[in-house]
Structure 1
Amino acid sequence: MTKRIKRHKEANSAMPTKEDTRDSLPNLAPLLLAEIVNQCSSGISVCDVNGKIIYGNQQFKTRYNLSPESYVQQFFINTFNDISIDDILDRVDTETSLHLVETKSSDQSDWIILRVSKIVYNDEIMLLFLVESLTSTIINHLRVNIKLETIVDHLPVLIAHVDQQDRYLFANRTYETFFNCPLENVIGNSVENLIGSDAYAERKTYIQRVKQGHSVIFDHTFFVDDDIRQLQLKLVPGESGQEDYYIFAQDVTELRSFQKKLEFQAYHDSLTGLTNRTFFIKSLNGILSRNQQNTGLLFIDLDGLKIANDNYGHDSGDELLKRFADILKHTLRPQDIVSRLAGDEFTILIANLSNPTHDLEEVCQRIQGALPATMNIEGFDEERWLAIADSAMYKVKRHGKGGYNIEPTWDIADLNESFQQESIE
């Protein structure tokens, strides 16, 4: 450090004045050179090895209030809180230029980038500061790229750049989490080695398309640590024209599962699990649009549901509907479309009948043959309690107003008898 200070002092004592520097520049008149530098959109300053500014162009003067005793340390406070002028001198000895990010002290939203280089003039060492505003439109792309890598690494998306031989040139940190391996094992590795030969073979068609210049989007299922994950991948051609491409992949396992649940809910009856009226109409329209022959349609009405609801409660009626739906599903073929339209109404679409009239008659007989004469519904829930109280209330009304009736027991046999008078057909 003592040697450094001594060198600084020697350099400072021999430092030429601003006028001496201008007059000694070859080939160009000083005023012309100054005008050229002043036209530069960047701020430019030159300081000695102690940081004392010996020159600033017009842009730099406009941005900072220069005085004859100004030092770079007083203008770039954040930078010199972390490093010293000696640190900068050491680093520019080994680097062509040094890039630093700084804010103007009076305006923390005004970001600038400093490019510091070493210049030697008449055997004297000086530092050249080139100042660019990161908020200017001229270097807007630079502002974006300063922290781009950090931003990309924190996105919950797999992002990669792959060369024409399907080797990873770049991958963000999300690859480490998803594939549970260091990033060093990804960069330089091939796509086939990372995801496996089988998965690569399934994606090869899409890879060939992107190498031909087409963007492609597709879903792919992976096994990661004994877990099934579904990714939506987008492959985008690179700019080089050398069959490189970019990979953008998002884990959509939960999203696809949620979509399937929504689709099931949209097309299925929540009580019986059968397809609903919407799905039935969609299927029927599809058959009619294809003019499909040898197709039959059955419309079924379940008798006795109202008696079950009124006498035993709606839970008993719901249980009756579910059991009837199970009978239909187990009696028919898997490809037959059984739907519950509403209430006690059901439909069945049966395609590919060899003899429609005979086959439909046989189906009807098979359904009726599978129906039991009676169904025992277990349990005694709140709906049945309401049914008991409702029955007691109507007994009072039959004998006039202003009375009451208490039912200490519930004669299930009476209700069974009334229910069995209307059979399920």
Structure 2
Amino acid sequence: MEDVILSKLIDEQSNGIIVLNKDLVVLYANKKVREFFSSNINQLLGNFVKCNNTIVESCYCQQTSKCSECILNNAIRQLKETNIKQIIDNLKFNSDGEYINISLKISHEGDYIILEFTDLCNLYEEINFLSRMMDKSKDIMFFKDSNLKYKYANQSCADLFNCDKDEMLDKDDNELLRLNCIDELLYRKLKIGDINTLKKGNYNHTIYYKERHLNISKECIDGGILCIAADITEEKKANKRAETDVLTGLNNRRKFINDMDEILKYDGNNFYLALIDIDNLKYLNNNYGHLKGDEYLSKLGKILEDTSKGRFYRIGGDEFAGLIRLKKNALESMFDDIFDTLKSLNCNPPLTISVGIVLVDINKTYIENYKEADNLLYEAKKKGKNRFILS
């Protein structure tokens, strides 16, 4: 009866407790220890503490070839020799595949040795809380060991991989590919990221997969790879809305200026800048109403959007712009096609445009390049409209 009462009292302790006999065999492990190490008492009894060495060498604690190097083993030996309580801070322990640091007090009570894991309950609950929080995150998180086998994956990762979290553990991407958990496209993206991470120590890249934009951040930790992939799909959509002209669906002036800045900043050679005006839009609005003007704007926007050889923008009321990276002959042919398409619309009155085109000079400012194209556009207007001039 006393043993039962004592057992229950120890089980209610907030700290984890393991009782060893003089031969260092586990006699008892309380509830906090069993919960923490996901073990029942029968799994702990007689094993002392399982470590990688005991597992690899298939033997009990104190019997491996590396026990002499063990911090815990040496602390217990010191306790037996001096009878002085030993304290170990930041002892690395493996719990369910997760390496964590815990603090440990080792004391001598008669013929028994008591291992007391301080604040084990709080640590256990904290780990579970963090795990639950990570499972609720929309971001994808996983950790691979030095052999690139998955040791942790949150729920978002398992959902993306179309399998259970437990199914992923201790498997690499080749195995997951064979099990159809990941497809060939994702396999290649993961492989590229891993190669770059191992080579440089870290890796950052944005990918598009299954209609989601993922900002990948990978880092080498303890010989393995930690990955956090932030889902930026909504952010991308918001940015797209902020950079899109509502009427035509083309990029707007804000996007045009940003793209011009990128070309000038990163030496984007061989880009042509085209400035485009709808001819007589004011006349259309005054005589046929603004709905007619909007119809013509939409029609031109659709034609430019369908022109896959360049990027086009609506930058003002009747003003459009294009950034095109083609050789001069191909550029002329592209605008010939645009003018032929406009002519085939049979609009009444006709939908025509005037265009000025210059080769972007990366040694000049945005304003200087813009003015040169605008001067050619003005010249096209003076020569009777419905034409393009290319310098």
- Alignment TM-score, normalising by the size of structure 2: 0.49
Higher normalized contact order (CA 8 Å, seq sep 6+, divided by chain length): 2
- Alignment TM-score, normalising by the size of structure 1: 0.46
